Structure 1
C-alpha cells in the first residue's frame, strides 16, 4: 500500500481551505486534521524508506539462501560420487596384485580426502543457508511491523478525511486510535522493538 506523502499534505491543505464564514470551532478542527495528516504523511515517508531498504535486504537474503542450498546440493552430489568411487577402489584393491597395491592406496587416500573435504564444505554451506533463513525471518518480522503501521495509518487518514467533511470532533478523536497504534508499530519497525501482533499479521497475510 503506497501512499504519496506529498499528495496527503496537499489534501490536508485543501481540507482546511474553507469559506471565510466558517466558524472558529470548524477552523480549529480543520487545522487539527491538517496538522495530523501532515505529521502522519511525514512519518509514513520515513517508514517507507526504511521498509524499502528492508525489502531489498529480504530479497538478498532469500537469494543467498537459494544459492547456498544449491551449492549444498552440488557438494552433496560430489561427496556421494567420491564415496562411491572410494568404495569401488577399496573393493578392487582387495583382488589387485601387489604391484598395483600402492597405486590403489594413493587413489583411496585422495578420494578419502576429497569426500571429507566435500562433507566439510557441505556443512559450511548448510550453516550459511540456515543463517540466511534466520536473517530473512528477522527482516520479515520488521517488514510486518511496517505493513501493519501502513495499514493503520491509511485507515486513520481516511477517517481524518471524513472528519474534515463532517466536522465531527468525536470522529477526529476516533481517528487518533488507529493513528496511535500505527505510529507505535512504525516506531517498532524503525527501532527493532519486539512488538509483533501475530494474530493480526496472520489474518492479513
Structure 2
C-alpha cells in the first residue's frame, strides 16, 4: 500500500513538473506571438506610410512634368516665331531669345536638380525607392499572419496537453510553435521565401 501511494505521489510530482515546463513553454510562445503581432502591425503601418509618401512624390513629379512640358511648348512657339519673322526688330528678337534661354535653363533644372533633390530624375528615383520599400513591407505581412496563426494554435495545443496530459498533442504544439517562430523570423528578415503564400 505504501508503495502504491509513493508511486502516485511520484506521478503527481512528475505531472506537476511537466505542467510547469509546459507553462514556461506557453509563456515563451506568448512572447514570440506578441513580437510577431508587433512586427505585423509595424509592417502594415510602414507599407501604408510608404504608399502615401510614394503617392505624394508621384503627384509632385506629375506637376513638375506638366510644368516642364508647358515650358517646352512656350519655348518651341517662340523659336517658331523667331524663324517665321526674320524682319522682327532686334530688341524684340533679343527679348524673345532671352526668354527662350531662360525657359531652357528652367527646363534643365526641372529635369535634374541634384542640389534640391526635386528634379524629375531625382523624384523618379525617390518614387521608385519608396515603392520598393512599400512592396517589401507588404511582403512581410503574410509571414506575420501565418506566424500568429501557428503560434496561437501551438498555445492552444500546449494548454490542451496540460489538461489531457497527452504527449502527442504537446509534440504537435512544438512543431507548430517552431513553424510559427520561423515565420516570425522570416517576417523580420525575409531570409527565406514563404512557400505557401502566392
TM category (shorter chain) comes to: 0.7 to 0.9
Secondary structure of 1:133's partner? helix
- Match of 2:192? 195
Contact 1:160 1:175 in 2 (8 A): yes
The reply to whether residue 103 of structure 1 matches residue 101 of structure 2 is no
Cα deviation for residue 193 of structure 1 reads 4.8
Unaligned runs of 5+ in 1: 1-19
Cα deviation for residue 85 of structure 1 reads 0.8
Question: Which residues in structure 2 correspond to 1:1-205 (within 5 Å)?
Answer: 23-24=12-13, 26-96=15-85, 97-99=88-90, 100-120=92-112, 121-190=119-188, 192-197=189-194, 199-202=195-198
In structure 1, how many angstroms separate the alpha carbons of the residues matched to 2:123 and 2:70?
18
Secondary structure of 1:182's partner? helix
In structure 1, how many angstroms separate the alpha carbons of the residues matched to 2:65 and 2:120?
6
Report the structure number with the largest CA radius of gyration: 2
RCO higher in structure (CA 8 A, sep ≥6): 2
Contact 2:33 2:152 in 1 (8 A): no
Cα deviation for residue 141 of structure 1 reads 3.0
- Match of 2:3? none
Secondary structure of 1:61's partner? helix
Unaligned runs of 5+ in 2: 1-8, 113-118
In structure 1, how many angstroms separate the alpha carbons of the residues matched to 2:100 and 2:190?
55
The normalised TM-score by structure 2 is 0.79
Cα deviation for residue 95 of structure 1 reads 3.1
Cα deviation for residue 64 of structure 1 reads 1.1
In structure 2, how many angstroms separate the alpha carbons of the residues matched to 1:137 and 1:194?
16
Cα deviation for residue 45 of structure 1 reads 2.0
Number of residue pairs matched? 180
The normalised TM-score by structure 1 is 0.77
